[in-house]
Structure 1
Amino acid sequence: MAVNAQWLQTALLLGCLAWCISTDLLVRRIANRAVVILLLGWLLFGITDVVRLGGGNNAALQGMLWALPGAAVVLVVGFILFLTGRLGAGDVKLMSVLCLWVGSGHQIVFVLVTALAGGVLALTLPLFNTVPTAVALGIQATNRLFNSRLPLPPALPADLSQGIPYGVAIAFGAMYVLIFPLF
Structure 2
Amino acid sequence: MDLLTIACLALLPVIAVAAGVRDLTTMTIPNWMSLALVAAFLPAALLAGLGWQGLLVHLGIGVGALMIAAGLFALGAIGGGDAKLMAALALWMGPDGVLMFVLWTAVAGGLFSVALILARGRLVGLGAFGPAWVRGLLQPKGDIPYGVAIAAGALMAWPASAMMASAF
Q: Residue type matched to 1:23 in 2? A: R
> So what's the TM-score if we normalise by structure 1?
0.71
Q: Residue type matched to 2:150 in 1? A: I
Aligned length: 157
The alpha carbon displacement at 1:46 in A equals: 2.0
For residue 164 of structure 1, give the secondary structure of its aligned residue in structure 2: coil
CA RMSD for the aligned pairs? 3.2
1:7-42 Cα distance to aligned partner (Å, 9 max, x none): 303432232122201110011101111111111111
Are 1:98 and 2:95 matched, yes or no?
no
Over 3 Å counting, the alpha-carbon distance change for 1:167 and 1:133 in structure 2 is: farther
Tell me the equivalent position of 1:145: none
The alpha carbon displacement at 1:61 in A equals: 1.5
**Structure 2: stretches of 5+ with no match in the other structure:** 162-168
Matched ranges for 1:67-82 at <5 A = 67-82=58-73
**Structure 1: stretches of 5+ with no match in the other structure:** 51-58, 137-151
Are 1:170 and 2:150 matched, yes or no?
yes
> Which 10-residue stretch deviates more, 124-133 or 171-180?
124-133
Contact conserved, 1:64 with 1:100, CA < 8 A, in 2? no
Over 3 Å counting, the alpha-carbon distance change for 1:49 and 1:106 in structure 2 is: closer
Contact conserved, 1:10 with 1:179, CA < 8 A, in 2? no
Contact conserved, 1:21 with 1:167, CA < 8 A, in 2? yes
Q: Residue type matched to 2:153 in 1? A: G
What is the CA–CA distance in structure 2 between the aligned matches of 1:107 and 1:7, rounded to whole Å? 21
For residue 41 of structure 1, give the secondary structure of its aligned residue in structure 2: helix
Residue of 82, 86, 105 corresponding to 2:77 = 86
What is the CA–CA distance in structure 2 between the aligned matches of 1:6 and 1:132, rounded to whole Å? 43
1:139-178 Cα distance to aligned partner (Å, 9 max, x none): xxxxxxxxxxxxx869749989721111111111111111
